[in-house]
């Protein structure tokens, strides 16, 4: 995956600030999704379809710290979150990090510093390996160059769509991934399209790759949310 496969969310109610940050990120090669309020973020299932979130503390409908709590409680404990806020008191920084934030940038941000922090955090989390040509997870090995997946040294025959789906899920291991996000990133379709095709492909992939827990990994359905590939 290149940077265009990595989606950075910007939850910011200041339209001018959001536009500037989005432009910086897009110029750096990322796909950007902007949210203007916490309610919009939840409705659009933002935490399920992004690889990193830049989060403002002061939002029109709730506090950013509460959004972070919702993200962590909803099963997206591994989503990298950077607070981007005018609040610069030490106690705010401590509270943000203690609540599960990964980094903290005080407004107005500097372009180079912000992009460096985004890049560093994505490297640490890797989009769970999003930029790696090969990904090894126990018995599973994903080879992006040859577009193949090995299980215990044996290549599994997959369609191109099944490979894309498996690759997307493995590189977001431990995170809930919504059906809408899968349609958007794997099928390049609008979320308005029926999700039945996603469920069918997930079921087939679970069988082909033995993602039922026997090999240490399970592809679990999360009620009313989507799927999560998790280590057991």
Q: Are residues 20 and 114 in the same domain?
A: yes
Helix 111-125 and helix 15-27: axis angle, to 10°? 60
Sign of CA dihedral 115, 15, 172, 80: positive
Q: Are residues 18 and 111 in the same domain?
A: yes
- Out of 5-9, 126-130, 144-148, the most confident range is 144-148
168, 173, 175, 178 alpha-carbon torsion, rounded to 10°: 30
Distance of CA 182 to the CA centre of its chain: 11
Pair of tokens at residue 90: 């030490």
φ and ψ of 49, to 5 deg: -125, 15
Instruction: Round to whole Å and give the CA distance between 192 and 22.
Output: 25
129 has pLDDT over 70: no
Of 4-8, 135-139, 175-179, which gets the smallest average pLDDT? 4-8
Q: Are residues 224 and 189 in the same domain?
A: yes
183 — pLDDT class (breaks 50, 70, 90): confident
Question: Tell me: the pLDDT tens digits for 192-231?
Answer: 667 788 999 999 999 999 999 989 999 999 877 789 898 8
Which of 84, 108, 125 is where one domain is finished? 125
1 — pLDDT class (breaks 50, 70, 90): very low
Q: Residue 130: exposed, middle, or buried by beta-carbon count in 10 A (0-12, 13-18, 19+)? A: buried
- What percent of the chain shows pLDDT beyond 70? 90
127 has pLDDT over 60: no
- What percent of the chain shows pLDDT beyond 90? 52
Place of tokens 């203007």: 36
Q: Are residues 154 and 171 in the same domain?
A: yes
Domain that holds residue 109: 3-125
191 has pLDDT over 80: no
Q: Domains in the chain: how many in total?
A: 2
Output the DSSP codes for 171-207: TTTTSEEEHHHHHHHTS---TTS-SHHHHHHHHHHHH
Q: Are residues 109 and 180 in the same domain?
A: no
The residue among 45, 53, 67, 70 whose CA lies nearest residue 184 is 45
Q: Are residues 49 and 111 in the same domain?
A: yes
Say what the pLDDT of residue 73 is.
84
128 — pLDDT class (breaks 50, 70, 90): very low
Residues 6 or more apart in contact with residue 123 via CB below 8 angstroms = 131
Place of tokens 């989606």: 7
Instruction: Round to whole Å and give the CA distance between 7 and 25.
Output: 10
Q: Are residues 115 and 206 in the same domain?
A: no
The residue among 13, 16, 83 whose CA lies nearest residue 53 is 83
Alpha carbons within 13 A on the beta-carbon side of 155? 8
CB 64 within 8 A of CB 92: no
Q: Residue 96 is part of a domain; what is its CATH number?
A: 3.40.50.2300
Place of tokens 């679970």: 206
Question: Tell me: the pLDDT tens digits for 87-111?
Answer: 888 998 999 999 889 999 999 999 9
184 — pLDDT class (breaks 50, 70, 90): confident
């Amino acid at each position: 995956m290149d940077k265009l496969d990595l989606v950075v969310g910007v939850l910011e109610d200041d339209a001018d600030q959001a536009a500037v940050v989005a432009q910086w990120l897009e110029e750096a090669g990322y796909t950007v999704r902007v949210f203007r309020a916490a309610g919009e973020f939840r409705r659009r299932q933002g935490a399920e379809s992004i690889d990193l979130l830049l989060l403002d503390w002061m939002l029109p409908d709730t506090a950013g710290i509460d959004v972070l709590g919702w993200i962590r409680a909803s099963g997206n404990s591994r989503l990298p979150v950077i607070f981007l806020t005018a609040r610069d008191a030490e106690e705010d920084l401590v509270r943000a990090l203690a609540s599960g934030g990964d980094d903290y940038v005080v407004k107005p941000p500097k372009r180079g510093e912000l992009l460096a922090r985004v890049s560093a955090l994505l490297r640490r989390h890797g989009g769970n390996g999003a930029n790696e040509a090969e990904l090894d997870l126990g018995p599973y090995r994903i080879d992006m160059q040859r577009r193949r997946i090995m299980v215990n040294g044996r290549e599994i025959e997959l369609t191109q769509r099944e490979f894309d789906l498996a690759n997307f899920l493995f590189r977001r291991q431990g995170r809930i991934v919504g059906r809408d996000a899968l349609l958007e990133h794997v099928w390049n379709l609008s979320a308005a399209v029926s999700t039945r095709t996603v469920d069918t492909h997930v079921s087939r992939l679970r069988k082909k790759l033995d993602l039922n827990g026997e090999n240490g990994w399970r592809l679990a359905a999360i009620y009313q949310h989507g799927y999560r590939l998790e280590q057991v």
